[in-house]
Amino acid sequence: MSELLGVAVLGAGHMGADHVRRIGDTVGGARVVAVADPDTARAEAAVAGREGVTVHRDATAAVSAPGVAAVLVASPEGAHEEALLAACERGLPVLCEKPLTPDSVSALRVVEAEARLGRRLIQVGFMRRYDTEYAALKRLLGSGQLGRPLLLHCRHRNVSSPPHFTSSMLISSSVSHEIDAARWLLGQEITAVTVIRPTPSAGAPQGLLDPQLVLFETSGGAVVDVEVFVNSGFGYEVRCEAVCEHGSARLGDAHTMVVRSGGRAHEEVAQDYLVRFADAYDREVRAWVAAARDGRVTGPSAWDGYAAAVVAEAGVEALRTGGRVTVAMAERPALYGMRDPDGSGNPDGGVGDIHQAAAAPSA
C-alpha cells in the first residue's frame, strides 16, 4: 500500500501527545487525521502545526471521522472499553495503551466482542515486548540454551508517583508491565500472587504502601519476584534477570551512559518511561502500522490485556489480605489459542501472544 494509514488518536495527554509526535515525525506509513480529548485546547496543542487533523471532544466522533482507518487509544482507562467496542464495530485495527480496561470484567467483555468477530483487531500496548533487550532475552530463553527458567527477578522503580496514586495502583498500573513480561518471557501463565509489604519509605506520600515485593507463581513451576518502588527519588529503572538451570541473563544495565571525570564515575539514570523505552515505543507503533496496512494484527492481544487484569486483581487482593491469592481466568477463546508457525509467540509471526504452555485455570 502506498497510501498513508489514517490514525485517530484518542487522548492528548502525556502519552497521546507523544504518539501524535511519533506518528507524525518518526513512524512511516501513517498520519494522524483525528484527535479526541475532552480538553479540546490540549488536543489542539498536541496537533499544532500538523495539517489535515480534525479535533474532537468525543472519542466516538473521532473514530468515525473521515479518513480514519486505525485507532490508537491513549485516553484514561475508564474510556477504553467504549472506544474499543466502537472501533470493533467499524472493523478498525486498534493499538490500546495498557490497561485494556480498568478491570477484568470489562476486559472480558472486550475479549468476547472481538471473539464474536472471529478476527483480531486489538493490540495492547505492552511495549516491553518491543524493547531490544527484552526481545533478546525472549529469544535466549526460547532457544533452550540456558535450560529451564527457574526464577525471574524484576525491578520497577520510578522517581515519584503521581498525586492520585494508590497502594493498589503499584500493582494494577506499574506491575502490570511485569505481569505481561513474565507471561511472555516464560511462556507460562501466572497461577498465584503474594504481596509482601516492607515498612513504607519516608519518601512515599502518607498512606502509600511503597515499596512492595510482589511474588508470582507460574504454571511451569517458575517463581517471579517484582520489587516495585514508585518513589525511589533517583530515577526510572527497569531491570530483569532470568535464572535458569544452566545460567542466567540480565537486562536493564545497558540503558545508561557512564561519565568518568575528575577521579569519579557518574552514571546517568533515565527520569521517565518515555525516555527509557523511547525506542521500544517507536518499534511498537511502527510494527502496528505496518501490520494494519497489511490487514493484520500482531503484538499483545486483548486476551493478554484480560490476563494482566485478572492477575493484577489477584495481586490487589493479596495486598489487601496479606495472603496468597490464586488466579482464576475465564476459558480462553479459540481466537487466542492458535499456535504460532515460527516460534515467535504469535499466530501471525510477530512479537505477540505467549504459547499456552499449560491450560489457564478456569473460573
Per-residue pLDDT of the chain (363 residues; tens, 9 = 90+): 458 999 999 999 999 999 999 999 999 999 999 999 999 999 999 999 999 999 999 999 999 999 999 999 999 999 999 999 999 999 999 999 999 999 999 999 999 999 999 999 999 999 999 999 999 999 999 999 999 999 999 999 999 999 999 999 999 999 999 999 999 999 999 999 999 999 999 999 999 999 999 999 999 999 999 999 999 998 889 999 999 999 999 998 866 666 666 788 776 677 766 678 889 999 999 999 999 999 999 999 999 999 999 999 999 999 999 999 999 999 999 999 854 323 333 433 333 343 333 333 323
Residue type present at position 24: G
> 157 to each of 138, 241, 272, how far by Cα in Å?
22, 15, 10
Cβ atoms 125, 274 nearer than 8 A: no
d(CA 116, CA 1): 28
DSSP state letter for 47: T
d(CA 362, CA 18): 39
Strands 54-56 and 30-36: parallel
Confidence at residue 346, expressed as pLDDT on a 0 to 100 scale: 42
Confidence at residue 363, expressed as pLDDT on a 0 to 100 scale: 33
* Residue 22 backbone dihedrals phi, psi, to 5 degrees: -60, -45
CATH for 5-126+280-301 (3.40.50.720, 3.40.50.11890, 3.90.79.10, 3.40.1190.20): 3.40.50.720
Cβ atoms 77, 99 nearer than 8 A: yes
CATH class for domain 129-276+304-329?
A: alpha beta
CB atoms within 10 A of CB 31: 18
Confidence at residue 361, expressed as pLDDT on a 0 to 100 scale: 30
Confidence at residue 259, expressed as pLDDT on a 0 to 100 scale: 67
Find how far residue 147's CA is from the centre of its chain. Answer: 27
Helices (H), the chain: 14-25, 40-46, 59-63, 80-89, 104-117, 132-143, 169, 176-186, 273-276, 278-293, 302-321
What does the domain layout of the chain look like in residue ranges? Answer: 5-126+280-301, 129-276+304-329
d(CA 341, CA 249): 26
